[in-house]
């Protein structure tokens, strides 16, 4: 049997692998044996974290509807029971609900495991882990996988299942929790009566939000779609960032004249929305929406976002909402951890959110919970409807770039991290010293020399990832060039309010990066 490479299963603060055969070139590596060993590694980690013996631990286990989820979660439960752990099998669940199993008195788990691979294809699966302090960090996953690959012992085996409990009611408890948030703001009874809300769960775990949260409170959910869990994902990718998926929910809202649309990813730690006009509230707009929902209660608070947020969003947060914007790095754990860190340093931060839809509110344990964000949006929609307004009014002052483009350039050399650093450093210097002359020559040829004096090239500082450059003048817009932490690519994001602006910025970058060996800039 091929030796397991546990390190290859780490994806930042998650574990992800190939759990099912059937895709050419993708060999199964998240096997039953791997799941057993990783379960052991988590118990070693959790025992050390809590100071409890393994046999005194209480662990909850849940899964999304992936085809391999049932087998993997059963393997995890069986392994933990063998070591004397008190195990609650929560069956089909959402990732945020699994964390809340460490909070709810009815469950009071020391730790939780969610079997999920978010929006990845059907043959993939993985695991997310929680303690009572929240989601585990990258370093924690490294420790778990190191223990999984070691000969560390947990003590005597307990071959009975007396500590095993089926606990499928977790999602009812979690749904009641969300309903309580709504009734606390809107009143008891049927406070959502008169609202028509379309929910698209993408056949993932999010169908409960329509059936167990919205409908019991009076909402019309008849326009909802793909609520039934199906791990083959037959309709569209369960991913709010996916263009096809957003097309489905926007059409549902328009055709059924809904007040609101909500779309979730597979395990419901992300969500986006559609307003009453059928327009996406996604990426920069979902960041703006989340911030606007807490701005009134927390004036001047800091909002942490990832690095690719737009200039227009920055303006909306700081000038329209009067909040502070802290643009940090890509990666939802990076964004959330920075929000937590700011609070520890005495800086009030109520929201940490990535443009992918991972939104973590301080009032909700800094848990990235798509259903919690959706609940806040539903509450505001209901309040606005009483005033004769739609949810679009919350972000009506947010401007969107005229053009946007993303390019993922391949690094063709050996040490892709070193090459990426070199490309970033060179680009920073080139933009400062060479770009002004190139813009001047181009603009002079087209418009005469007088127009060039107004051009500004701003190397944005502080900047926590890659190099971000903003242009004001004849060339208008911005770009962010960064390196991937895991793959030999350099993602590049460009936006502009100027027709042809992205093309002009890309031309500059092509001239720049042509001087950097081992970076393929041909797609520019």
Taking only the tens place, the pLDDT of each residue in 58-104 is: 999 999 999 999 999 999 999 999 999 999 999 999 999 999 999 99
Taking only the tens place, the pLDDT of each residue in 447-480 is: 544 445 678 899 999 999 999 999 998 889 999 9
pLDDT band at 395 (very low <50, low <70, confident <90, very high): very high
Domains and CATH numbers, the chain: 6-168 (3.40.120.10), 173-395 (3.40.120.10), 403-513 (3.30.310.50)
Query: Which DSSP string corresponds to 61-80?
Result: EEE-SBTTHHHHHHHHHHHH
Residue 178 has pLDDT above 90, yes or no: yes
pLDDT band at 306 (very low <50, low <70, confident <90, very high): very high
Taking only the tens place, the pLDDT of each residue in 28-53 is: 999 999 999 999 999 999 999 999 99
pLDDT at residue 445, as a whole number: 46
Taking only the tens place, the pLDDT of each residue in 244-277 is: 999 999 999 999 999 999 999 999 999 999 999 9
Mean local confidence (pLDDT), 427-437:
89
Taking only the tens place, the pLDDT of each residue in 194-249 is: 999 999 999 999 999 999 999 999 999 999 999 999 999 999 999 999 999 999 99
Q: Which residues pair with 134 in a beta bridge?
A: 131
**Cα 453 from chain centroid (whole Å):** 42
pLDDT band at 1 (very low <50, low <70, confident <90, very high): very low
Taking only the tens place, the pLDDT of each residue in 490-523 is: 999 999 999 999 999 999 999 999 999 999 999 9
pLDDT band at 356 (very low <50, low <70, confident <90, very high): very high
pLDDT band at 368 (very low <50, low <70, confident <90, very high): very high
- Outline where DSSP puts E strands in 256-331: 260-264, 271-274, 280-281, 302-305, 324-327
pLDDT band at 321 (very low <50, low <70, confident <90, very high): very high
CA 21 – CA 24 distance, rounded (Å): 8
Report the 3 state secondary structure along 176-224.
HHHHHHHHHHHCCCCCCCCCEEEEECCCCCCCHHHHHHHHHHCCECCCC
pLDDT at residue 450, as a whole number: 44
């Amino acid at each position: 049997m091929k030796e397991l490479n546990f390190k290859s299963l780490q994806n930042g603060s998650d574990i992800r692998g190939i759990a099912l055969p059937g895709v050419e070139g993708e060999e199964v590596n998240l096997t039953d044996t791997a799941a057993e060993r990783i379960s052991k590694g988590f118990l070693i980690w959790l025992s050390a974290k809590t100071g409890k013996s393994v046999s005194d631990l209480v662990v909850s286990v849940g899964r999304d509807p992936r085809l391999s989820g049932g087998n993997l979660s059963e393997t995890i439960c069986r392994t933990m029971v063998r070591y004397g752990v008190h195990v609650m099998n929560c069956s089909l669940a959402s990732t945020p609900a699994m964390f809340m199993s460490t909070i709810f008195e009815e469950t009071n788990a020391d730790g939780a495991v969610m079997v999920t691979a978010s929006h990845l294809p059907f043959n993939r699966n993985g695991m997310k882990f929680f303690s009572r302090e929240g989601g585990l960090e990258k370093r924690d996953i490294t420790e778990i996988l190191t223990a999984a690959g070691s000969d560390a012992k947990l003590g005597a085996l307990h071959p009975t299942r007396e500590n095993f409990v089926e606990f499928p009611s977790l999602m009812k408890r979690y749904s009641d929790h969300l309903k309580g948030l709504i009734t606390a703001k809107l009143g008891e009874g049927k406070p959502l009566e008169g609202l028509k809300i379309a929910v698209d769960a993408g056949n993932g775990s999010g169908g409960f939000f329509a059936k167990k949260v919205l409908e019991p409170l009076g909402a019309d959910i008849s326009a909802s779609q793909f609520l039934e869990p199906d791990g083959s994902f037959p309709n569209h990718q369960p991913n709010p960032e996916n263009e096809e998926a957003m097309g489905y929910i926007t059409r549902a809202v328009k055709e059924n004249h809904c007040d609101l649309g909500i779309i979730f990813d597979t395990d419901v730690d992300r969500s986006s929305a559609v307003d009453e006009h059928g327009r996406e509230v996604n990426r920069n707009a979902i960041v703006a929406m989340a911030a606007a929902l807490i701005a009134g209660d927390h004036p001047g608070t800091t909002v942490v976002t990832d690095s690719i947020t737009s200039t227009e969003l920055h303006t909306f947060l700081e000038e329209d909402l009067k909040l502070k914007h802290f643009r940090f790095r890509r990666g939802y754990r990076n964004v959330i951890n920075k929000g937590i860190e700011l609070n520890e340093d005495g800086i009030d931060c109520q929201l940490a959110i990535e443009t992918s839809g991972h939104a973590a509110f301080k009032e909700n344990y800094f848990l990235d919970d798509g259903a919690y964000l959706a609940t806040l949006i539903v509450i505001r929609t209901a309040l606005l409807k009483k005033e004769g307004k739609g949810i679009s009014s919350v972000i009506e002052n947010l401007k969107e770039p005229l053009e946007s483009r993303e390019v993922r350039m391949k690094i063709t050399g050996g040490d892709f991290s070193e090459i990426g650093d070199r490309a970033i450093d060179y680009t920073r210097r080139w933009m400062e010293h060479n770009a002004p002359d190139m813009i001047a020559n181009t603009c002079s040829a087209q418009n005469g020399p007088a127009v060039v004096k107004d051009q500004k090239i701003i190397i944005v500082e502080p900047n926590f990832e890659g190099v971000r450059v903003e242009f004001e003048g004849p060339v208008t817009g911005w770009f962010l060039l960064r390196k991937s932490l895991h793959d030999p690519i350099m993602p590049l994001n460009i936006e502009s309010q100027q027709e042809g602006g992205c093309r002009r910025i890309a031309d500059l970058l092509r001239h720049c990066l042509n001087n950097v060996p081992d970076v393929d800039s041909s797609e520019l």
